[in-house]
């Protein structure tokens, strides 16, 4: 009888140890799965943040480039227009001076006369 109790106690002890080991293994496996899922989620969030930041920087660079190009184009156009206006105004001024001098019977200076003739006044000196 004593032997039977000892065998039952040993069997129960082995079963308890096996159950505890199985429970510990299941808990460890579940914990590892949870950690792996968390790592995947964190990686996804980090990748999403990096992608958003890179896209924002690219958009910012493109916008800045577009603004710089627009400003340069506007400045070049303004400079060209100002130069053209100054040249046309100078030509008109010279032609008016020569024509006015001739209208009042004055002879313009030879340099001015030659300049206006080269501008297409059509009169010979």
pLDDT per position as a tens digit, 33-68: 999 999 999 999 999 999 999 999 999 999 999 999
Positive/negative CA dihedral, 73, 76, 80, 81 = positive
pTM exceeds 0.85: no
Task: Record the tokens describing residue 99, joined without a space.
Answer: 């024509």
User: If you average pLDDT over residues 99-124, what whole number do you get?
Assistant: 66
Residue corresponding to tokens 């008109």? 92
Q: Please check whether residue 44 is in contact with residue 38, taking contact to mean a CB–CB distance below 8 angstroms.
A: no
* Burial (CB count within 10 angstroms: exposed 0-12, middle 13-18, buried 19+), residue 116: buried
Residues 56 and 36: their CA atoms lie apart, in Å, by 30
pLDDT of residue 38: 95
pLDDT at 125 over 60: no
pLDDT at 115 over 90: no
Q: Three-class SS of residue 123?
A: coil
Q: Pick the closest to residue 112 from 125, 123, 98 (CA basis).
A: 98
User: If you average pLDDT over residues 101-107, what whole number do you get?
Assistant: 67
């Amino acid at each position: 009888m004593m032997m039977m109790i000892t065998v039952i106690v040993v069997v129960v002890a082995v079963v308890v140890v096996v159950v505890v080991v199985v429970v510990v293994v299941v808990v460890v496996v579940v914990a590892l799965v949870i950690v792996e899922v968390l790592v995947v989620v964190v990686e996804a969030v980090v990748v999403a943040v990096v992608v958003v930041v890179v896209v924002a920087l690219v958009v910012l660079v493109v916008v800045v480039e577009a603004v710089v190009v627009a400003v340069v184009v506007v400045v070049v156009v303004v400079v060209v227009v100002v130069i053209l206006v100054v040249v046309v105004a100078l030509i008109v001024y010279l032609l008016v001076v020569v024509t006015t001098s001739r209208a009042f019977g004055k002879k313009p200076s030879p340099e001015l006369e030659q300049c206006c003739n080269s501008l297409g006044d059509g009169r010979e000196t």
